[in-house]
A and B are shown apart, each in its own frame.
Chain A
Amino acid sequence: GQQLNQSPQSMFIQEGEDVSMNCTSSSIFNTWLWYKQEPGEGPVLLIALYKAGELTSNGRLTAQFGITRKDSFLNISASIPSDVGIYFCAGTISNAGGTSYGKLTFGQGTILTVHP
């Protein structure tokens, strides 16, 4: 199946540091989504991106839809302990046919640990 390469797999950082993670694919995407999942909860949508080149912020979070439509990054500035969790990129592939154009392809996740 289609794959999204998400990196890094895990990050251990100090409170206050900035964080950057990204997803790349060989396929062209028409939507990029970034989710955060904490233990015992479902994934929570952080940012949704719909156009190539789009740069969107949500508080300390910034994400961009790559110009080639094959990649996206998420930055977190001035990290705090509550940023801990697993961050997933996800997207919908533009040439998916039939009923498949709504299917989300997920990255493998980035596990973020923030030390106070």
Chain B
Amino acid sequence: DTEVTQTPKHLVMGMTNKKSLKCEQHMGHRAMYWYKQKAKKPPELMFVYSYEKLSINESVPSRFSPECPNSSLLNLHLHALQPEDSALYLCASSQVPHQLGNQPQHFGDGTRLSIL
């Protein structure tokens, strides 16, 4: 069982809808991540939060809006998505990285998003 929980597991939405993806971890990690993954491809980093502050935005379109309400929760707010945004959205968490060493990221099972 994954220690990173994502909801919902599946989401179908129209291009004009607003929805949110949720992620929760209770491992005491202070870094959390959003990734987008297409079928049989590696995950692509979207956002990184470190100590609840956004530290990396990989030039993600503004129709994706992340939020980190506290150290255990990470949200991804979706609005006016395009069909090409259909993918598996993965959340991950880890200890905060530092130059001398990095603890591995632990992934949730993702939300399968389909845009009609």
Range for the number of chain A residues in contact with chain B: 20 to 34
Q: Which of B6, B42, B50, B106 contacts A109 (CB 8 A)?
A: B42
Q: Point out the residues of chain B lying under 8 angstroms from A108, CB to CB.
A: 41-42
Report the nearest B residue to A103, measured CB to CB: B45
Q: How far is the CA of A104 from the CA of B42 in the complex (A)?
A: 11
Q: Is the CB of A99 within 8 A of B50?
A: yes
Known A50-B101, A101-B98, A101-B99; contact A45-B106, beta-carbon cutoff 8 A: yes
Whether, in the assembled complex, B105 has its beta carbon less than 8 Å from a beta carbon of chain A, the answer is: yes
Known contacts A42-B107, A99-B48: A106-B2 contact under CB 8 Å: no
Counting chain B residues whose Cβ lies within 8 A of the other chain, the interface size class is 20 to 34
Task: Write the chain A residue with the least CB distance to B112.
Answer: A40
Interface check B55, CB cutoff 8 A: yes
Q: Which residues of A contact B90 (CB under 8 A)?
A: 42-43
A94-113 near B? 1/0 per residue, CB < 8 Å: 00000111111011110100
Q: A45-B104, A48-B104, A103-B56 are in contact. Are A92 and B41 (CB under 8 A)?
A: no
Q: Name the CB-closest residue of B to A97.
A: B99
How near does chain B come to A102, taking the closest CB pair, in angstroms? 3
- B96 touches A (CB below 8 Å): yes
* Complex-state Cα separation, A109 to B42, whole angstroms: 7
Closest to B97 in A: A102
Annotate A14-55 by CB proximity to B: 1 below 8 A, 0 otherwise: 000000000000000011010100001111110010100000
CB-contact partner of B42 in A31, A45, A50, A107, under 8 A: A107
A5 to chain B, nearest CB (A): 12
